[in-house]
Amino acid sequence: MDVLSDVLVAMRTGNPKASRSINHAPWGVRFEQSTMAGCHVVLAGDCWLLSDHGEPLALGVGDVLFTPHGDGLALVDKLGSPIVEYEPRPDDATHMSEMRIDGAGVATELLCAYYMFDPARPHLLVADLPAIIHLPARDGQHPSLRSVVELLGNELLDPRPGAEAALPALIDMLLLYVLRAWLAEQPGDAAGWATVLRDPAIASALRQMHHGPEKPWTVEDLAAVAGLSRAAFAKRFTTVVGQPPLAYLTWWRMTTAARLLRESDASLRAVAARCGYGSEYAFGKAFKRAYNVAPGQYRAQCPR
C-alpha cells in the first residue's frame, strides 16, 4: 500500500477540474480564497505572482504554483495591470473550462487545476504544506511532472474522444507529481510528512494501518512492524507524524469510513467491519464523535 497515493484517494472529494487560458496583455486574474486547492502552470509567456505571502514573484515557462489550502493569489502580465476575478464552481460537474482575456499585447498561456479536499478531515500531510508551493522550471528537474503538464495541456487544448476519462486521471496525476516534486526538494532535516515518507520504520507502520484498518492494532504490534521498541516507536511516530499511533489509526479509520459512505453502497455493518468496529453501535458512536453526525445521515447528505 502506497501511503501517499492512499492519502490522496481518501482526501480528495468531488470532481477535479482544469482550465487552459490564453491571456493577451494587459491582463490580470485574481483567484480568491477558496475551499478548493489550486495548481497553476505557465505554459507560454511569463507573468507575475501577487499574494499576501511575499513580494511579487516573476514566473516563466514551466513554473508551477500550488495552493493546497485555497489561499488567494493574482497572476498578472506586469505589475499594475487591471485584474479580473475568477473562481471555479465546486458544484460544476464538468472536468474542464476555458478562459480568454483579449488585448493588444503578447499572450501568456496558463494551465490551472482545482481539487476539493474533505474540509471536515484535512489530512496532516495537507496541513503540513505551505500556503504556496513554487516549483520553478529547471532543466532536467522533475521530468514526470513536466510530462503530465504537457499531456494535460494538450488534452485541454484539443479534447478528443475519451477526454472525459483522460482528464480526471491527468488532473489527479498532476497533483501527485507536484507533491512528489515538493517532497523531493525538502532538506534531509525537514520535519513533518516530508520526514514521514522517508522514514522506513514509520512508513512501514503507516502502510500496515492503511492496508488493514480493520485489524486490532496495538502500539506493540506496530512497533514490531517498524522494528523498534514500543517506547522508541511511540515517541518517533508522534514526533514525525504529529499524532500518537493509535490516535492516527482512529483518524484513518474514520477517514476511510467517510470515503466508503460517500463512494459505495456498502451497508453500515460492512463499513463498520472494514474500519475495525465489531458493532454498528460502536462504529456509530465513533463516527459521530469525529463528524458530529451519524453515519447514515452523513451518507444521505453526500452528493451521489
203-255: per-residue pLDDT in tens? Answer: 999 999 999 999 999 999 999 999 999 999 999 999 888 899 999 999 999 99
pLDDT at 147: 93
Contacts of 205 (CB under 8 A, 6+ apart): 222, 223, 225, 226, 233, 237, 245
Residues of the chain with pLDDT under 50: none
pLDDT at 89: 63
Three-state secondary-structure class, residue 247: helix
Strand order in 47-50's β-sheet? Answer: 57-59, 47-50, 73-76, 28-31, 84-86
pTM for the predicted model, two decimal places? 0.83
Give the CA angle between residues 3, 33, 67 to the nearest 5°. 35
What class has domain 199-301?
Answer: mainly alpha
Convert the pLDDT of each residue in 268-288 to its tens digit.
999 999 999 999 999 999 999
* Dihedrals phi, psi of 197, to nearest 5 degrees: -75, -10
Which CATH topology does 3-184 take? Jelly Rolls (2.60.120)
pLDDT at 127: 81
Q: Domain map of the chain by residue range?
A: 3-184, 199-301
